[in-house]
């Protein structure tokens, strides 16, 4: 009952505050209106003007404010503005991404023509830092910002696609390649072993619990990434993994502006898997002496010279379209913004698609001179289809010696007919039956934030933020018989269906007090205080059934199933509820624009811990704007030099649900003559659990040279995370398997470099700029749950190593013909995999395994080049990850014929790789052999995952103003864009080992092969597996303003 009472009391306090704040304001205004009116009219005049960009094109949305007042307006769609001002007033013009400009009003001022230049150092840019904003020049923490202009350079389905390669220390790894798939976001690497390493997402000041796929990128105004503790400590127990702050677009003062943004294009696969053709497949099978021989269909194919590429029947072109229409504008009292969007992407495999309908509403209005209220609503309806449809494995195994069609022209549904794998695959054209294979996920979301703000006295204001985030999700699946997804089922009722439903909501209430004052023109003090509450609640439930009477019923009526619908055990059925109470204070002090100080303190209490558990999160940072010192003001070389240093403690609240209380699991047992369901304690509770805690030290320098023609920053950091959550195993005599405890410790340290340069800027209008970022992060496990323990092989954790590593045998080649005697000592023969004997005992055992690779890259980086000439613009963005290991799972056989695709014996088709023969003494792959087992084949799947990719190319043309006026347009730009157009560097691809090195997932442990049992790779591996191939995208688009 704690949170409802807090919510009610907060709402009551706001109502009382509004009552007392508005009435005095109105009465004072009425008393003074008549006496002041004549004076104001006598001194002011209407100042009109137009704002232009560096190309003399109208610049809409520019804020024009009379200096040291709150009176202002915004430029309309044609860059025009009108404002009442008195002679001697100074107009301050500002827009994110442009240098601020000041113009003094004189008696002769009539129509102004103001030209603004893009900001190269953006020191005066306002940055969102959590519960407030700061000028970039006053920042003491490590913050990266992207505005809407940068987002438009990379048309993308979601926010994370637009971030790739754009921010130092921000690493993105794909979690899938089908439409609607997301990515794994890591800010300065991993910290936790068992908890979440995901960054906190904040939208319009409110923590966001939904999917970033739900957000329309056209609705986003800015993204700010907080990386070090001095910036993230304000979020306390949620800040250790970094914070991504998204600010959506809002209305501005001025005439209504209608905008239309659209693009359309197609997706094509980056390439096909390079498989054996018919002749090569026959040669391998003969070499392997595969005992099963050839099926009748294959013998006919050999005679006819058949060589079928089954991938040609599987892949198609995908299409993508995006449309967004918005309306924004406002008066001095009320500003508004509305938008509606539609996005759809179809996959390169039949049945895969992602579709999103989005609506955005924002309203800001003044109630008198002291009170302001507003709201934001982001609502979405999403459909993801075919997310789990994966026919790649079953398709690539098909024999190239068989034909996709029978002699009479009908489809050959069972190409492996007559072999032991007849029921393991089918013709991929069975995907075309839309009733036989159905997967649909529907997600409805509404994210709402409301605020009320009261200016109590000059510089002091109170703000109430209320957020409500609600999501409802429905998932349905039907897999029919005689399809490539379910080839082993041949009877009409050998089908399966499942329905899963879930809901979740989060409400947040934040009471914020801000005091912002400048004393004696040199002392700028800002205080922010917060008292907030948050509650999360959600559930999921799932029902499965088999034996439905017909395909058309799909998953809609499971009662018709011949098999009794069942509720599966595990995470598909769950309920959770948690709450958070927080107190926070932050002080920012700036002296004479030279000396900077930030101090933050936050205290969090959570319902997931025992009563009375509160944790504190302090942070402290200082800065020195050396370039503002008198001794450097006349320096023509150094235009900016600022030193920063900070220390802070943050937490990670992503602990397993119920870890403090323990958990129950179900099991069946015999009770008399009945077999009944019972419960047992599967994990003990731990009342002493706490959040994981990260202490962070960050030292940085911001610099600008040659009037900021070259600018950038360098940051050094070290982050140590202790009290890591790990499960400690218990003896079976305890009656429970394990319990959660705070024990382990990790550390990360690194360097980040950001450079921005104006390479060319000519009077003829040609400009070339470059943004470059580079980051090195080194993770290390310092301790496990037992201080005397240095490794946990089961989880893949090793003291002194990064968090995500590969622990396996090390392949050093292939046994050659002249090494037969030596190979025999290890139970091998020439042509088989040769492993390193670490302990030199002349045999291969578990003791010969070691850490042989890491998924942590040596460095990551990105580069964006922008070229503009008059009305033309070209943007090229590159992304790089160098030095990590990837796992190509399709080179690893589990020996059963059912796990991974290729067995190296001619039983099924496989990639065209360099395998050993007596006449080809290679060290790459072993000799084909008749059996289904390749000893130690897991060692065949580890490769250099380095790559440098051209992430996007965007060429645009802005139509001249003269042409636009005739069409009634304010501005118009047309463009052509390509995403993933080509790879610049990848040893994995250039050596013919795969299509794309970036990975098709981040999960899926590969068990160690061979005579020894073991874990193999960590389940957070970056894997390249047999899933939907990565694609390249070609788009044409338009940006219009009316």
- Give per-residue pLDDT as tens, 232-288: 999 998 889 999 999 999 998 888 999 999 999 999 999 998 899 999 999 988 888
The answer as to whether 927 is a domain residue is: no
The answer as to whether 505 is a domain residue is: yes
Encode 380-431 in three state secondary structure: EEEEEECCCCCCHHHHHCCCCCCCCECCCCCECCCCCCCCCCHHHCCCHHHH
Q: How confident is the model at residue 571 (pLDDT cuts 50, 70, 90)?
A: low
| Closest residue by Cα to residue 925 from 279, 271, 284, 293 | 284
The answer as to whether 329 is a domain residue is: no
d(C-alpha 258, C-alpha 311), whole Å: 46
CB-based contacts of 325, cutoff 8 Å, min separation 6 = 258, 259, 260, 339, 340, 341
Q: Give the mean model confidence (pLDDT) for residues 995-1010.
A: 57
124's tokens: 């005066």
Domain stops at, among 250, 266, 291:
250
pLDDT tens digits for 842-878? 999 999 999 999 999 999 999 999 999 989 999 999 9
831's tokens: 């042509």
Q: How confident is the model at residue 637 (pLDDT cuts 50, 70, 90)?
A: very high
d(C-alpha 364, C-alpha 371), whole Å: 11
1010 or 108: which carries more pLDDT confidence?
A: 108
Mean pLDDT for all residues in the chain = 86
276's tokens: 């054996």
Q: What is the pLDDT of residue 3?
A: 38
pLDDT tens digits for 89-111? 889 998 876 778 888 888 766 68
Q: For residue 961, give the H/E element and its range.
A: helix 961-967
The answer as to whether 702 is a domain residue is: no
Answer whether residue 757 shows pLDDT above 80. yes
Answer whether residue 9 shows pLDDT above 90. no
Q: How confident is the model at residue 37 (pLDDT cuts 50, 70, 90)?
A: very low
Task: Average the pLDDT over each of 485-489, 578-582, 743-747 and give the range with the smallest value.
Answer: 485-489
Whole-structure pTM value: 0.85
Determine the 3-state secondary structure of 512 from DSSP. strand
- Are residue 20 and residue 138 in the same domain, yes or no? no
Answer whether residue 194 shows pLDDT above 60. yes
Q: What is the pLDDT of residue 16?
A: 41
Task: Average the pLDDT over each of 28-32, 928-932, 1028-1032 and give the range with the smallest value.
Answer: 28-32
Q: Give the mean model confidence (pLDDT) for residues 830-836.
A: 95
Identify whether the C-beta of residue 943 lies closer than 8 Å to the C-beta of residue 917.
no
d(C-alpha 732, C-alpha 892), whole Å: 35
The answer as to whether 203 is a domain residue is: yes
Answer whether residue 23 shows pLDDT above 60. no
Q: Give the mean model confidence (pLDDT) for residues 995-1008.
A: 60
Q: How confident is the model at residue 390 (pLDDT cuts 50, 70, 90)?
A: confident
The answer as to whether 995 is a domain residue is: no
Q: What is the pLDDT of residue 1001?
A: 62
Domain stops at, among 250, 273, 291:
250
Task: Find the distance separating the first CA and the last CA of the chain, reported in whole Å.
Answer: 51
Range of the domain at 25: 1-39
717 or 418: which carries more pLDDT confidence?
A: 717
58 or 20: which carries more pLDDT confidence?
A: 58
- List, as one string, the DSSP characters of 553-616: GTTS-GGG-SSPPB---STTSEEEEEEEEEEEEEEEEEETTTEEEEEEEEEEEETTS-TT-EEE
Counting other chains too, the contacts that 840-847 makes at CB distance below 8 Å and 24 or more residues apart are 844/809, 844/936, 844/1010, 844/1011, 844/1012, 845/1012, 846/1012, 846/1013, 846/1014
The answer as to whether 851 is a domain residue is: no
d(C-alpha 560, C-alpha 938), whole Å: 44
Answer whether residue 22 shows pLDDT above 80. no
Q: Give the mean model confidence (pLDDT) for residues 912-926.
A: 91
Task: Average the pLDDT over each of 250-264, 828-842, 958-972 and give the range with the smallest value.
Answer: 958-972
118 or 283: which carries more pLDDT confidence?
A: 283
Identify whether the C-beta of residue 606 lies closer than 8 Å to the C-beta of residue 579.
yes
Answer whether residue 1009 shows pLDDT above 60. no
- Are residue 438 and residue 587 in the same domain, yes or no? yes
Q: Give the mean model confidence (pLDDT) for residues 195-223.
A: 89
Percent of the chain with pLDDT over 90: 51
Q: Give the mean model confidence (pLDDT) for residues 550-564.
A: 89
Q: Give the mean model confidence (pLDDT) for residues 61-86.
A: 83
CATH of the domain at 177: 2.170.130.10
Q: How confident is the model at residue 690 (pLDDT cuts 50, 70, 90)?
A: confident
Q: What is the pLDDT of residue 122?
A: 55
Q: What is the pLDDT of residue 569?
A: 64
Answer whether residue 14 shows pLDDT above 60. no
- Are residue 441 and residue 548 in the same domain, yes or no? yes
Q: How many CA atoms lie within 13 A of 108 on its CB side?
A: 0
Encode 464-475 in three state secondary structure: EEEEEEEEEEEE
Q: For residue 773, give the H/E element and its range.
A: strand 766-783
Structurally, the chain folds into a number of domains equal to 3
Query: Torsion angle of alpha carbons 719, 150, 254, 42, nearest 10°?
Result: 70
d(C-alpha 647, C-alpha 104), whole Å: 43
- Are residue 134 and residue 25 in the same domain, yes or no? no
Q: What is the pLDDT of residue 72?
A: 83
d(C-alpha 66, C-alpha 85), whole Å: 7
Encode 278-338 in three state secondary structure: HHHHHHHHHHHCCCCCCCHHHHHHHHHCCCCCCHHHHECCEEEEEEEEEEEEECCCEEEEE
65's tokens: 């404010």
Phi, psi of 988 (to 5 degrees): -65, -45
Answer whether residue 688 shows pLDDT above 60. yes
Please, what's the b/e burial string for 8-43 (b: 16 or more CB within 10 A of its CB; e: otherwise)? eebeeebeebbeebbeebeeeeeeeeeeeeeeeeee
601's tokens: 């303190």
Task: Average the pLDDT over each of 111-120, 275-284, 521-530, 819-828 and give the range with the smallest value.
Answer: 111-120
Quickly count: other Cβ atoms within 10 Å of residue 255's Cβ.
15
Q: Give the mean model confidence (pLDDT) for residues 796-806.
A: 91
- Are residue 7 and residue 154 in the same domain, yes or no? no
Q: What is the pLDDT of residue 109?
A: 66
Distances (CA, A) of 772 to 68, 107, 370, 759, 876: 37, 47, 44, 13, 12
Domain stops at, among 250, 278, 309:
250
Q: How confident is the model at residue 7 (pLDDT cuts 50, 70, 90)?
A: very low
The answer as to whether 448 is a domain residue is: yes
- Are residue 23 and residue 137 in the same domain, yes or no? no
Q: Give the mean model confidence (pLDDT) for residues 335-354.
A: 95
Q: Give the mean model confidence (pLDDT) for residues 5-24.
A: 42
Task: Average the pLDDT over each of 56-65, 552-561, 594-603, 1013-1022 and give the range with the smallest value.
Answer: 1013-1022
Answer whether residue 640 shows pLDDT above 80. yes
Determine the 3-state secondary structure of 655 from DSSP. coil
- Are residue 438 and residue 568 in the same domain, yes or no? yes
Distances (CA, A) of 807 to 136, 246, 726, 794, 1003: 45, 39, 20, 10, 16
Distances (CA, A) of 833 to 200, 344, 931, 1005: 45, 47, 15, 21
Sign of CA dihedral 686, 690, 691, 694: negative
338 or 135: which carries more pLDDT confidence?
A: 338
């Amino acid at each position: 009952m704690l949170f409802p009472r807090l919510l009610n009391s907060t709402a009551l306090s706001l109502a009382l505050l509004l009552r007392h704040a508005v009435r005095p304001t109105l009465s004072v205004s009425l008393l003074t209106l008549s006496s002041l009116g004549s004076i104001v009219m006598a001194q002011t005049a209407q100042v009109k003007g137009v704002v232009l960009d560096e190309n003399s094109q109208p610049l809409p949305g520019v804020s024009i404010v009379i200096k040291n007042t709150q009176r202002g307006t915004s430029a309309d769609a044609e860059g025009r503005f009108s404002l009442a001002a008195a002679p001697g007033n100074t107009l301050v013009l500002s827009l994110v991404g442009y240098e601020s400009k000041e113009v003094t009003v004189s008696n002769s001022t009539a129509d102004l023509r103001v030209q603004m230049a893009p900001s190269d150092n953006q020191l005066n840019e306002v940055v969102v830092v959590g519960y407030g904003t700061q000028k970039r020049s006053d920042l003491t923490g490590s913050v990266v910002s992207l505005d809407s202009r940068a987002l438009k350079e990379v048309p993308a389905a979601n926010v994370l696609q637009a971030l790739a390669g754009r921010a130092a220390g921000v690493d993105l790894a794909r979690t899938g390649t089908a439409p609607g798939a997301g990515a794994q976001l890591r800010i300065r690497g991993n910290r936790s072993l068992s908890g979440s390493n995901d960054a906190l997402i904040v939208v319009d000041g409110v923590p966001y619990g939904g999917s970033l796929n739900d957000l329309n990128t056209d609705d986003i105004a800015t993204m700010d990434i907080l990386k070090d503790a001095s910036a993230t400590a304000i979020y306390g127990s949620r800040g250790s993994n970094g914070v991504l702050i998204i600010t959506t677009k809002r209305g501005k003062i001025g005439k209504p502006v209608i905008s239309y943004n659209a693009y359309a294009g197609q997706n094509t696969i980056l390439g096909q898997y390079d498989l054996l053709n018919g002749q090569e497949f026959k040669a391998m099978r003969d070499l392997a002496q595969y005992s099963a021989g050839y099926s009748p269909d294959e013998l006919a194919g050999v005679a006819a010279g058949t060589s079928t590429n089954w991938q040609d029947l599987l892949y198609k072109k995908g299409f993508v379209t995006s449309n967004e229409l918005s309306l924004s504008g406002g008066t001095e009292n009320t500003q508004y913004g509305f938008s509606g969007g539609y996005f759809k992407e179809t996959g390169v495999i039949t049945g895969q698609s992602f579709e999103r309908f989005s609506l955005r509403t924002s309203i800001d209005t003044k109630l008198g001179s002291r009170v302001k209220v507003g709201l934001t609503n982001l609502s979405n309806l999403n459909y993801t289809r075919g997310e789990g449809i994966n026919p790649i494995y079953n398709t690539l195994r098909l024999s190239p010696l068989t034909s996709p069609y029978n002699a009479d022209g009908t489809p050959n549904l069972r190409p492996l007919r007559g072999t032991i794998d007849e029921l393991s695959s089918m013709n991929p054209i069975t995907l075309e039956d839309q009733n036989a294979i159905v997967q649909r996920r529907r997600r409805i979301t509404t994210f709402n934030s409301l605020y009320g703000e009261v200016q109590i006295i000059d510089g002091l204001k109170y703000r109430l933020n209320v957020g409500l985030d609600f999501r409802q999700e429905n998932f349905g699946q039907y897999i029919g018989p005689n399809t490539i997804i379910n080839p082993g089922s041949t009877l009409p009722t050998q089908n399966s269906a499942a329905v899963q439903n879930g809901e979740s909501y989060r409400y947040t209430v934040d009471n914020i007090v801000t005091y912002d004052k400048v004393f004696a023109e040199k002392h700028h003090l800002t205080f922010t205080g917060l008292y907030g509450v948050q509650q999360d609640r959600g559930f999921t439930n799932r029902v499965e059934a088999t034996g439905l009477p017909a395909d058309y019923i799909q998953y809609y009526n499971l009662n018709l199933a011949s098999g009794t619908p069942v509720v599966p055990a595990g995470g598909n059925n769950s309920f959770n509820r948690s709450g958070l109470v927080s107190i926070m204070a932050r002080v920012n002090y700036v002296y004479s624009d030279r000396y900077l100080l930030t101090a933050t303190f936050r205290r969090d209490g959570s319902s997931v811990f025992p009563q009375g558990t509160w944790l504190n999160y302090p942070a402290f940072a200082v800065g020195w704007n050396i370039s503002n010192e008198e001794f450097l003001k006349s320096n023509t070389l150094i235009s900016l030099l600022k030193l920063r240093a900070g220390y802070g403690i943050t937490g990670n609240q992503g602990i397993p649900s119920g870890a403090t209380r323990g958990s129950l699991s179900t099991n069946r047992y015999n009770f008399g003559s009945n077999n009944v369901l019972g419960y047992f304690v599967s994990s003990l509770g731990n009342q002493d659990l706490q959040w994981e805690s990260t202490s962070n030290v960050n030292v940085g320098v911001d610099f600008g040279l040659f009037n900021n023609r070259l600018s950038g920053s360098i940051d050094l950091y070290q982050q140590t995370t202790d009290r890591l959550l790990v499960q400690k195993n218990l003896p079976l005599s305890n009656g429970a398997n394990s319990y959660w405890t705070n024990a382990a410790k990790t550390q990360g340290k690194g360097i980040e470099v950001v450079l921005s340069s104006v390479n060319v800027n000519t009077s003829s209008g040609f400009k070339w700029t470059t943004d470059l970022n580079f980051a090195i992060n080194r993770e290390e496990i310092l301790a496990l749950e037992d201080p005397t323990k240095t490794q946990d092989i089961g989880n893949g954790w090793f003291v002194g190593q990064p968090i995500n590593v590969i622990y396996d045998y090390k392949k050093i080649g292939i046994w050659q013909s002249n090494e037969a005697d030596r190979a025999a000592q290890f139970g091998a023969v020439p042509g088989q995999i040769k492993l390193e004997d670490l302990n030199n005992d002349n045999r291969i055992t578990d003791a010969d395994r070691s850490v042989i690779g890491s998924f942590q890259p040596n460095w990551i980086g990105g580069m964006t080049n922008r070229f503009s000439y008059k009305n033309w613009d070209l943007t090229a963005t590159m992304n790089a990850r160098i030095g990590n290991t990837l796992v190509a799972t399709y080179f690893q056989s589990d020996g059963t014929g059912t796990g991974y695709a290729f067995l190296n014996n001619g039983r099924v088709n496989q990639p065209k790789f360099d395998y050993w023969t007596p006449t080809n003494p290679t060290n790459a792959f072993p000799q084909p052999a008749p059996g289904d087992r390749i000893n130690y084949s897991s060692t065949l799947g580890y490769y250099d995952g380095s790559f440098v990719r051209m992430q996007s190319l965007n060429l645009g043309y802005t139509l001249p103003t003269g042409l636009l006026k005739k069409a009634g347009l304010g501005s118009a730009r047309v463009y052509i864009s390509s995403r993933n157009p080509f790879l610049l560097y990848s040893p994995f691809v250039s050596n013919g080992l795969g299509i794309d090195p970036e990975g098709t997932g981040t999960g899926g442990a590969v068990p160690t092969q061979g005579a020894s049992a073991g874990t193999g790779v960590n389940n957070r591996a970056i894997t390249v597996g047999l899933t939907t191939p990565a694609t390249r995208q070609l788009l044409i688009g338009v940006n219009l303003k009316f």
